Amino acid sequence: MKIPRELVHTFPLFIPRSYKTSEGNKTGSWRFLRPGYLEKTAPCSSACPLGQDVPTIQMLTVQGAFKEAWEVILRENPFPGICGRVCFHPCETACNRGEFDEPVAIHMIERFLADTARRYGLTPHLEKGPSREERIAIIGSGPGGLAASYFLTLLGYSCDVFESQEKPGGMLRWAIPFYRLPLDVLEEEISRVESIGIKIYCDKNITEKDFQSLKTRYNAVFVACGHQKGRNLGIVGENLPGVVDGLDFLIGLKRSEREPRIKGNVAVIGGGNTAIDVARSLIRCGAEPVIVYRRRKEDMRAFQSEVEMAEEEGVKIWELKSPVKVEKKNGKLMVTLQKMEVSELDSDGKAIVVPDPSEKEEVLFEMVFKAIGTEPSEAWYATAPPARDVHDLFSSRIVFEDDYPVLYGGDLFSSAKTVTNAIASGKEVAIALDAYFKDGKAAIMPEIERCRVGGSSALSMEIYINGERSKRSPHVVSFREINSDYFTLVPRIPQPRLLKEERVLTFAEIDLKISASMAMKEAGRCFNCGICNQCDNCYLFCPEIAVVRRTVEDGVFRQINYDYCKGCGLCVVECPRNAMVLEEESA
């Protein structure tokens, strides 16, 4: 038996119902706090010497938009394949995720994107400004010179690059060992830069006289010829046969058809990246290298990870020892090592050392490699002619001789002599020159200031050309400002590597490729600090349906309908990545 239908239908059911809109009641007038969309700066972007838009790169990678992600890199950095391999990635040190579990492997994703673009032979879509009449001469085709020519060309200038060696690339080509930067990666990246319309003249050494004549033919000259000469130790016997300049050794390796075999104990003097490159190369040539360093291991200027890998491969490190004399003995080199001791620590916590006169030792080596630093190969490179009109920027110097701009950058000017800093220097030069040509000298400093990423010395070309990024706040998002409830602990992707037994046998690249799915998973760990990744939390959480979502041609846009937003702030709190802001309503 069913319930009689008539019984059901006689039930009274009287509730309020209205078909009229209640939109006439503009509840937004109750608001005293005003939420809004305001993208901010991620700490990684600010820490990157190139100010790269890391959170956007990760966001696009997660979406599988690899070409677009690669193009976002190319707006700020012409060399992602190189930087993804050799940069010391300060972005990862600054990564907010490091306070949650582990930093995002940003460099691995950068490299993945570059490798993917190369594998598929992609041609990037790069926005180029209208052509300009000014011609720029660039001395040196290292990362600084090439970066300047790349950015200046995109800004509409024509650039000629002069390279003293037979091939372009500078230290990228000659100093960085293949196991860190394979030749094909380098050549592909250089040819891609060249292909946007840059002329590179190789085997063209610029003498001081040539330099003067360049000034008559070009509207500006950028001197970016770097450091090609190893520094001397300043000790007895350093010119004996068997005592070799470390940089010359690395260059020689690159030029030789096959690597030489070197036997026995060899000493590498120094504590920078060159010393590590030399020592690790020597291992691959069959030698047993010892790095002799006058300070402690933790004081070495070399990247920590490089030091660790060198030790894994069998490089020995003798700390607190300084060579004072090299002598010939029984066909070998006898090096007298002075024991050093720490007298105090400097402001960075690095040791300041003094000799301990009580202790010296003599050690026999087959060869000695000097790697204590580099300097320009010709004196005029570094010393600008006497001039009063000098503007020191973050990583370059601009000198006006009767209003003619000559710029100095790359290793010649930067204190941090890294590939990425050299590229940053080239970018800075491009911005400074463009500002100068368009609006005169007085425009240079304000324009440089305007392009700073999160108040750091990193400059953004996208901000300079008033791209989307220029709308972001320079406020650098801290971990505290991330709503970490939205994230789960996920371990960082490990870098797949050759086994150390394999590494020491060849100069093959150590770091192996990662798959697209690994890259997407890793990029998915990114908090996307300060930028909207369209998660729609604001839209979903708004209790007033005052977040309006509109689909337009290039995607979905969100807006706040202030007629009905009561300013509860839920959207701002629930934004996982601090891409919103809540401010007091102005009266």
Partner 1 sequence: MKTVMEGSHAVAEAVKLARVQVISAYPITPQTHIVERLSEYCADGTLDAKFLRVESEHSAMAALIGASSTGVRTFTATSSQGLALMHELLHWASGARLPIVMAEVNRAMAPGWNIWTDQTDSLSQRDTGWIQMYCEDGQEALDRTLQAFRLAETVNLPVMVILDAFFLSHTYEPVDVPEQEQVDEFLPPYNPRFYLDPDNPCAFNQLAPPDVYMEMRFSIQVAMEKAFDVLGAVHRDFGRIFGRHYDMVEAVECDDAEIVLVTSGTVTSTCREVIKKLRSRGKRVGLLKLSLFRPFPVGEIRRNLLKARKIAVIDRNCSFGAGGIFAQEVRSALFNVPNHPWVYGYVAGLGGRDVTPEVIEEIFRHVETLECPEDDSFWIGVREVENGIGSSR
Residues that bind partner 1 (CB under 8 A): 1-4, 7-8, 11-20, 22
Which contiguous run of DSSP H or E holds residue 379?
helix 379-382
Smallest separation (angstroms) from partner 1 to the CB of 271? 55
Distance CA 150, CA 145 (A): 9
Smallest separation (angstroms) from partner 1 to the CB of 23? 11
For 297, residues 6+ apart whose C-beta sits below 8 A from its C-beta are 307, 317, 319
Nearer to partner 1, 15 or 552 (CB): 15
Query: Where does residue 217 rank: exposed (0-12), middle (13-18), buried (19+ CB within 10 A)?
Result: exposed
Nearer to partner 1, 7 or 379 (CB): 7
Per DSSP, the three-state class of 550 is: strand
Smallest separation (angstroms) from partner 1 to the CB of 259? 60
Smallest separation (angstroms) from partner 1 to the CB of 567? 21
Smallest separation (angstroms) from partner 1 to the CB of 168? 60
State both tokens at 79. 């060399």
C-alpha closest to that of 176 among 116, 253, 282: 253
Distance CA 199, CA 158 (A): 9
The DSSP result for 95-110, as a single string, is -GGGGTSS---HHHHH
Q: Find out whether 140 and 88 touch, Cβ atoms under 8 Å.
A: no
Smallest separation (angstroms) from partner 1 to the CB of 482? 20
Nearer to partner 1, 22 or 586 (CB): 22
Smallest separation (angstroms) from partner 1 to the CB of 100? 22
Q: Distance between alpha carbon 247 and the CA centroid of its chain, in Å?
A: 23
For 212, residues 6+ apart whose C-beta sits below 8 A from its C-beta are none
State both tokens at 498. 């050759």
Strand 396-401 and strand 265-269: pairing? unpaired
Q: Find out whether 430 and 152 touch, Cβ atoms under 8 Å.
A: yes
Smallest separation (angstroms) from partner 1 to the CB of 12? 4
Smallest separation (angstroms) from partner 1 to the CB of 8? 6
Which contiguous run of DSSP H or E holds residue 392?
strand 389-392
Nearer to partner 1, 263 or 549 (CB): 549
Instruction: Kindly report the length of the chain.
Output: 587
Q: Find out whether 336 and 325 touch, Cβ atoms under 8 Å.
A: yes
Strand 288-292 and strand 389-392: pairing? unpaired
Nearer to partner 1, 10 or 239 (CB): 10
Smallest separation (angstroms) from partner 1 to the CB of 559? 21
Nearer to partner 1, 406 or 571 (CB): 571
Direct distance between the N- and C-terminal alpha carbons of the chain, in angstroms, rounded to an integer: 68
Distance CA 423, CA 143 (A): 5
Smallest separation (angstroms) from partner 1 to the CB of 27? 14
Strand 265-269 and strand 332-345: pairing? unpaired
Q: Which residues pair with 497 in a beta bridge?
A: 511
